[in-house]
């Protein structure tokens, strides 16, 4: 990393977030889906986006694998790199929020401290932590890429849930039973949360 520049000043736009939200006819929000690999984070995030899109809501999904192909392609899976990965995603999500968009992020994000850092960069009340809760055995049974088997064989080091810890959210905005509840019902729960919090209308 090079030296940080001290000659930068934040530019305040004349078109504000409030004006963008008025144009969009809904509020912006960060939906942070967290859970083990195979818990259904990406599946649920994309299903929620489909529902929101059909309701006329402006959305964008940031998915773990996709982001690591570009923005975070220089990062590995050490604890420090995981922390930096989540820091970057939090800052990127904040930019989408400023655009008045409902941004959905699907990342294991195993450490509470990192998720709290992502929460802290967003204005109060705009960050929604959604815990996709599925038992480890269910996640392993969904593992089409064979990652858990490789992790148990020692081929993949520092794999969350096997050789690296996952710290469950202590007070998420929504606790979703993605291990035993249908996808449709899970989507309904997320949509209801957004309506209750006034992000979208009824």
φ/ψ region of 152 (left if φ > 0, alpha if ψ in -120 to 50, else beta) reads alpha
- Measured between alpha carbons, how far is 47 from 62 in angstroms, rounded to an integer? 13
To which H or E segment does residue 35 belong? none
12 pLDDT more than 70: no
> How far, in whole angstroms, is CA 175 from its chain's centroid?
14
Task: Please indicate whether residue 3 or residue 95 has the higher confidence score (pLDDT).
Answer: 95
Give mean pLDDT, residues 118-131: 95
- Residue 60 near residue 103 (C-beta atoms within 8 A): yes
The catalytically annotated residue of 78, 109, 164, 202 is 109
Structure tokens that stand for 192 in this block: 């209801």
Q: Round the average pLDDT of the chain to a whole number and report it.
A: 89
pLDDT category, 136, cuts 50, 70, 90? very high
pLDDT category, 74, cuts 50, 70, 90? confident
Residue among 167, 166, 162 at smallest CA distance from 148: 162
Per-residue pLDDT tens over the stretch 162-179: 988 999 999 999 999 999
Which residue ranges form the domains of the chain, and what is each CATH number?
Answer: 18-135+167-196 (3.40.50.300)
Per-residue pLDDT tens over the stretch 46-69: 999 999 999 999 999 998 666 666
Residue among 186, 161, 127 at smallest CA distance from 35: 161
pLDDT number for residue 35: 96
pLDDT category, 3, cuts 50, 70, 90? low
22 contacts: CB under 8 Å, gap ≥ 6 = none
13 pLDDT more than 80: no
22 pLDDT more than 80: yes
φ and ψ at 160, to 5 degrees?
-60, 130
* 3-class SS of residue 21: helix
pLDDT category, 5, cuts 50, 70, 90? low
pLDDT number for residue 25: 86
Q: Is 141 marked active-site?
A: no
- Measured between alpha carbons, how far is 37 from 143 in angstroms, rounded to an integer? 8
């Amino acid at each position: 990393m090079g030296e940080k520049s001290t000659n930068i000043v934040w530019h305040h736009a004349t078109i504000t977030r409030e004006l963008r939200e008025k144009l969009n006819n809904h509020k912006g929000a960060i939906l942070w889906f967290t859970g083990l690999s195979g818990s259904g984070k990406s599946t649920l995030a994309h299903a929620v986006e489909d529902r929101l899109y059909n309701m006329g809501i402006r959305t964008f999904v940031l998915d773990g694998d996709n982001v690591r192909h570009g923005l975070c392609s220089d990062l590995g899976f050490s604890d420090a790199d995981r922390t930096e990965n989540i820091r970057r995603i939090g800052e990127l999500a904040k930019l989408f929020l400023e655009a008045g968009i409902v941004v959905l992020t699907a990342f294991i994000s195993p450490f509470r401290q990192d998720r709290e850092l992502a929460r802290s960069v967003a204005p109060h009340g705009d960050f929604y932590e959604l815990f996709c809760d599925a038992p480890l055995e269910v996640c392993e049974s969904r593992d089409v890429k064979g990652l858990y088997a490789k992790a148990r064989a020692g081929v993949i080091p520092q794999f969350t849930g096997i050789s690296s810890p996952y710290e469950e959210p202590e007070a998420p905005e929504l606790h979703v039973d993605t291990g035993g509840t249908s996808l449709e019902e899970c989507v309904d729960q997320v949509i209801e949360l957004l309506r209750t919090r006034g992000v979208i209308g009824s």
